[in-house]
Each structure stands twice: as C-alpha cells, then as structure tokens.
C-alpha cells in the first residue's frame, strides 16, 4: 500500500477521522493513538499568549460600563438602570457595574484597557451570524468560513498540516469547537468541551496500544492511526504541561474560573500555545436582567482577578493578555420584561501587564443613535484584533492586512502601541499608572514631530521637585518610570512641556 501522504489526502483523512482536533467530544476524552513521528516536529519559539473570553449571548454594554450621570440612560431604562451611588466610578462620568470591583482594582493598577463603542458597519442582530462575523473578522455583508485566529495561526505555522508543530496551536475550553480556529487547511484548535475533561486527560490514559490485525484492513487502520496521531498527539503535550505547571492561587468554584485556572497551569507548565479561548454563556438577557447580569460579571471579575494574580505570582504575567468579546451589545431601551433586546456596539476589555490601561474612546451617545435607536460603533472590532496581532503577538503589518483583506488603524491599547494625536496637538501625555501610586509609576507620552521637551514633577504650589527627562526627541511614543518612594505622600503634577509652547499636566497622588 502506498504510504506517501499528499496535502489533500491528509485533509480528507482528517475530515473522516475526527472532524477536527477534539478532546472531550461527545463527552469522552480523546486518546492519542501513538507517539508523534519524529519527522513531524516543528518547534516554534516561545512567545506571548492571547486568552480570549467569549461572552455568549450579547453583553449589555450600557450596564457594564455605565453612563450613570446621563439622564437619558435612566429615562430609557426606568427599571434596570444602575444608579451611580451603587456603581463603581471610573472617569468622565462613566462607572463600572457594581459586581466588577476586582476588575476595577486591576484598572487602578493600569492593567485594564476599556475600548468604548466597539462594533462594525451595518451590524447584524442574529446570534449565529453576528458570532460568525466576530469569529471570522469579516464585513457584515461577507461570509467567510475561516476564523481570524486560524488565519493568524496559518501564517505563524506555514508548514501545517504537512509538518505538525510540537506544541498545540490553539486550545479551547468550555464549549463546542469554535469557528475561530477553523480554516480550509484544517482545524487549529484542541477542544475541551468541559473543564472536567481536562482533568480526566491529566489523570487518564493517553495511548491506544491495540495492535491492528495483520490484514489489508489492519494495514489501512495502522496508517490512519499514524495520521490521526499527528492531529491529536497534543494530548500528551498538554498532559505533560499540566503536570509541570501549577496554580499559585485558589480560584473561585465557577466554570470560567476553572477554564482560566487550566490556562494558567498550562502556560506555567511551559506550553507555547499562542491562543486560548474560554467561554461563559448567559448574556442573552431578554428578561429579569439585573440579577443575571450581576451574577455573570461577578463570575468574570473574580475569575479574571484570580487569573491575573496567579500569573503575577508565577512571573509570567508579562507574556499573557486577556481579551473579551461578545457578538453584540443590547438595545438602549429596556423591553417589557425588565431586560434588553439585541443591540449593536458595546465596550470591550483588554487586560494584562502589557496593556497601557485606561479608557479609549468617547462615552456612548444616547441621542446620536442609528436608525434602530441603537448605539453607533466608534471603533471597528478589527482595530482591536489588528492591535492585538501586531502589538502583542508580533505579526507584521503585511500579514495582518492579509488576514482581514484590508488594513485597520491600531489603537493605543498596549504599552508598545503608538499613541494617536489628539486634534491640533503636537504632544500627548497619558495619566500616570498606577494612580494613586506606591513605589514605581509609569509616565507615558508621545510627540508628533521632532522637538525639545521636558517631563517634570511639580508640587501643588508650582515648585519643580524632579525632572524625569529633558532633551531633544523625534516623533514617537515614550515611557519613563518614576520612583515615587523619593517623595513625601501627597498630590503632585506631572508636566510635559515642549519647545513649541505646549504644556500638558496630569495629577499624580503618591501614597507611600
């Protein structure tokens, strides 16, 4: 029998064998048939990891990041609006849901970027179609069958599936296989439909040692087993990583927390997988929204806080970024059953040590709405994807443009992302982070032409008490670290002054 395997034959065989790389499909953990053939190993350098949390059902953005000083918000939602005295103050009249105190703590440390009004043109309000749009990265009127993450992984692993990487390319927890990792080359994701199946894998048997019979059919079976092993061989790699890894904190006893705990354990165990997908459902809040929405964000906030604490405790937090997404937001108006119906744009969160922190974009307008009375998108969702791919996962501009068939402007989400100029300004200074500050604080700024600048610290009576930098710079984004332990506790002003006559100041509270 001919054993040479063509690319097309490989794909046909895998479609017949497994319908994808699955661990836990139909409620049973998959088993690797054999050790991976040595000739199929293709190592990928260790890099950063992206952890995506999908909020299934359509998250209500207005009750997540709340315009609690806007009278229209309360008029449109007489029964489900959240009063500002119950919410958590952010800035510019915006507040977080009261269940999100753990995320607010991360925000205060400069580890949370909130991007306002994320969506796309001509939004679709169908759960299925809208989810496909977000998973593929397409325009609303274009149907793609490949996930945007799969296209990124195809670029990163150009020899797949002829040469299998030595590490899982993507891992999905807590749901059936997502379109996010599917492509016409094959399926890039290893799937655990239930976190408990992961632990069955870790403690269970991995090898199928049954010897095929010495017949023509047995020869075919042996061949197919070898091919299948190149696909689901990651069960052993995942098990080894899990046994080497650990969790340094106690996670809450929720499904999402279990998913994130597994991700932290695998990363700490040395897995070099670049993309993870976790899921939490329940966001289709057509009725009795207040309690359900509060419970969901309590679960997310506590799970994310534990995850970040775990990563920091293991000194791996600087390589991991977490991003949320949901297929759409909800309507501005509440409905007749104390809930909200399918809407459009909503806020998106990017969390980690690598992010710049703060809020990106303006508060949602509740008067300048679309023809259906819904919030207009300010940022295209692919701007966030583009920024993540380029500034966190290191993809170049050409490859990123090829993934989405067009280019999208990056946003200042990460410390490595370029700052954008504000109208008429030639310099820009961000809020110090963290603020209030104990110990080290980051001062980040940008100049948009070559000039001479000074970055200095002043007390509240206008006396300069320290100079962070003074000299000539070229156009770009810059960062300085200030050790606040040298200054008494109190309120100070950080100043960015330029030779072109502009000056920007930001308040800094030191609580050493």
Q: Transcribe 436-482 into DSSP letters.
A: SBSSEEEEEEEESSSEEEEEEEEETTS-EEEEEEEEEE-SEEEEEEE
Q: CA angle 452-454-458, nearest 5°?
A: 160
Residue 358: Cβ-neighbour burial (10 angstroms; 0-12, 13-18, 19+): middle
Peptide bond into 436 cis (omega under 30): yes
Whether 2 maps to a domain, the answer reads no
CA dist., res. 169 & res. 187, Å (int): 10
Give strand pairing partners of 22. Answer: 191
Question: Is the domain of 332 the same as that of 465?
Answer: no
What b/e readout covers 172-206, taking b as 16+ CB neighbours within 10 angstroms? Answer: bbbbebbbbbbbebbbbbbbbbbbebbeebbeeeb
CA dist., res. 507 & res. 493, Å (int): 5
Sequence-ordered list of residues with C-beta below 8 angstroms from that of 210, at least 6 positions apart, any chain: none
Question: Is the domain of 453 the same as that of 377?
Answer: no
Question: Is the domain of 400 the same as that of 436?
Answer: no
Contact present, 116 and 381 (Cβ < 8 Å): no
Whether 415 maps to a domain, the answer reads no
- What CATH number does the domain containing 461 carry? 2.60.40.2550
Question: Is the domain of 97 the same as that of 155?
Answer: yes
CA dist., res. 151 & res. 408, Å (int): 16
How many CA within 13 A on the CB side of residue 13?
Answer: 21
Kindly compute the dihedral angle of the four CA atoms of residues 344, 349, 355, 361, in this order, to the nearest 10 degrees: 40
Question: Is the domain of 152 the same as that of 264?
Answer: yes
Sequence-ordered list of residues with C-beta below 8 angstroms from that of 9, at least 6 positions apart, any chain: none
Entry pTM? 0.81
Question: Is the domain of 343 the same as that of 436?
Answer: no
Sequence-ordered list of residues with C-beta below 8 angstroms from that of 445, at least 6 positions apart, any chain: 419, 427, 428, 429, 430, 455, 477, 478, 479, 496, 504
CA dist., res. 195 & res. 261, Å (int): 10
Tokens of 438: 């104990």
Whether 410 maps to a domain, the answer reads no
- Write down the pLDDT at residue 236: 84
What b/e readout covers 37-68, taking b as 16+ CB neighbours within 10 angstroms? Answer: eeebeeeeeeebbbbbbbbbbbbbbbbbbbbb
Task: Please give the residue range of the domain that contains residue 495.
Answer: 427-510
Whether 158 maps to a domain, the answer reads yes
- What CATH number does the domain containing 352 carry? 3.40.720
Helix axes 255-268, 234-244, angle to 10 degrees: 90
Identify the domain boundary among 373, 404, 435: 404
Question: Is the domain of 325 the same as that of 459?
Answer: no
Q: Which DSSP helix (H) or strand (E) runs through 260?
A: helix 255-268
Question: Is the domain of 439 the same as that of 363?
Answer: no
- Write down the pLDDT at residue 220: 56
Taking alpha carbons only, the member of 379, 385, 336, 381 closest to residue 360 is 379
The phi, psi pair for 480, rounded to 5°, reads -125, 145
Whether 421 maps to a domain, the answer reads no
Question: Is the domain of 432 the same as that of 348?
Answer: no
Taking alpha carbons only, the member of 418, 338, 324, 278 closest to residue 106 is 324
Taking alpha carbons only, the member of 442, 30, 17 closest to residue 204 is 30
Question: Is the domain of 132 the same as that of 219?
Answer: yes
What is the domain count for the chain? 2
Tokens of 429: 């200074």
Whether 285 maps to a domain, the answer reads yes
- Write down the pLDDT at residue 41: 32
- How many other C-beta atoms can be found within 10 angstroms of the C-beta atom of residue 309? 18
Sequence-ordered list of residues with C-beta below 8 angstroms from that of 408, at least 6 positions apart, any chain: 380, 382, 383, 385, 386
Whether 414 maps to a domain, the answer reads no
Question: Is the domain of 244 the same as that of 147?
Answer: yes
Whether 332 maps to a domain, the answer reads yes
Taking alpha carbons only, the member of 208, 193, 183 closest to residue 262 is 193
In the chain, count H helices and then E strands: 12, 22
Question: Is the domain of 365 the same as that of 275?
Answer: yes
- Write down the pLDDT at residue 45: 37
Per-residue pLDDT of the chain (512 residues; tens, 9 = 90+): 333 444 334 333 333 333 334 443 223 233 322 233 333 333 333 489 999 999 999 999 999 999 999 999 999 999 999 999 999 999 999 999 999 999 999 999 999 999 999 999 999 999 999 999 999 999 999 999 999 999 999 999 999 888 889 999 999 998 888 999 999 888 899 888 877 778 877 776 444 455 556 665 665 555 444 434 434 568 888 989 999 999 999 999 999 999 999 999 999 999 999 999 999 999 999 999 999 999 999 999 999 999 999 999 999 999 999 999 999 999 999 999 999 999 999 999 999 999 999 999 999 999 999 988 899 999 999 999 999 999 999 999 999 999 999 999 999 999 989 888 887 889 999 888 888 888 899 899 999 999 999 999 999 999 999 999 999 999 988 988 899 999 999 999 999 999 989 999 999 999 97
CA distances for 286 relative to 64, 106, 339, 342, angstroms:
16, 30, 4, 8
């Amino acid at each position: 029998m001919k054993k040479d395997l063509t690319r097309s034959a490989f794909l046909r065989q895998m479609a017949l064998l497994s319908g994808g790389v699955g661990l836990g499909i139909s409620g049973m953990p998959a088993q690797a048939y054999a050790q991976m053939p040595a000739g199929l190993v293709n190592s990928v350098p260790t890099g950063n990891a992206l952890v995506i949390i999908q909020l299934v059902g359509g998250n209500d953005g207005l009750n997540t990041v709340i315009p609690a000083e806007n009278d229209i918000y309360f008029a449109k939602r007489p029964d489900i609006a959240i009063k500002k005295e119950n919410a958590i103050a952010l800035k510019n009249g915006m507040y977080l849901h009261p269940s999100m105190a753990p995320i607010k703590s991360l925000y205060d440390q400069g580890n949370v970027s909130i991007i306002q009004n994320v969506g796309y043109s001509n939004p679709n309000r169908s759960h299925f179609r809208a989810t496909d749009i977000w998973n593929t990265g397409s325009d609303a009127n274009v149907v793609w069958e490949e996930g945007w993450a799969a296209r990124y992984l195809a670029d990163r692993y150009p020899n797949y599936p002829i040469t299998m990487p030595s590490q899982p390319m993507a891992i999905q927890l807590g749901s059936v296989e997502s379109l996010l990792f599917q492509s016409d080359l094959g399926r890039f994701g290893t799937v655990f439909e239930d976190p408990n199946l992961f632990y069955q894998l870790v403690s269970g048997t991995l090898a199928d040692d049954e010897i095929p019979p010495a017949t023509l059919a047995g020869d075919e079976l042996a061949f197919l087993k070898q091919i299948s092993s190149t696909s689901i061989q990651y069960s052993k790699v995942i098990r080894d990583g899990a046994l080497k890894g650990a969790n340094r904190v106690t996670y809450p006893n929720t499904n999402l927390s279990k998913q994130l705990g597994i991700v932290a354990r695998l990363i700490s165990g040395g897995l070099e997988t670049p993309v993870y997908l976790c899921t939490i459902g329940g966001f289709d809040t057509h009725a009795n929204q207040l309690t359900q929405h509060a419970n969901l964000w309590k679960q997310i906030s506590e799970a994310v806080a534990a995850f970040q604490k775990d990563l920091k405790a293991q000194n791996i937090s600087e390589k991991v970024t977490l991003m949320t997404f949901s297929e759409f937001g909800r309507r501005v108006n509440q409905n007749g059953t104390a809930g909200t119906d399918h809407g459009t744009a909503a806020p998106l969160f990017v969390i980690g040590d690598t992010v710049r922190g703060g809020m990106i974009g303006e508060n949602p307008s509740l008067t300048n709405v679309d023809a259906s009375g819904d919030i207009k998108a300010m940022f295209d969702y692919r701007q966030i994807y583009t920024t993540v791919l380029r500034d966190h996962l290191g993809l170049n501009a050409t490859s990123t443009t090829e993934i989405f068939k067009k280019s999208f402007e990056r946003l200042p989400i990460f410390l490595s992302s370029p700052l954008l100029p504000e109208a008429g300004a030639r310099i820009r200074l961000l809020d110090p982070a963290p603020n209030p500050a104990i110990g080290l604080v980051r001062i980040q700024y940008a100049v948009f032409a070559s000039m001479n600048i000074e970055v200095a610290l002043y007390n509240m009576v206008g006396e300069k008490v320290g100079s962070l930098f003074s000299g000539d710079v070229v156009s770009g984004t810059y960062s300085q670290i200030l050790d606040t332990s040298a200054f008494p506790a109190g309120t100070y002003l950080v100043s960015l002054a330029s030779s072109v006559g502009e000056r920007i100041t930001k308040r800094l509270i030191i609580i050493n």
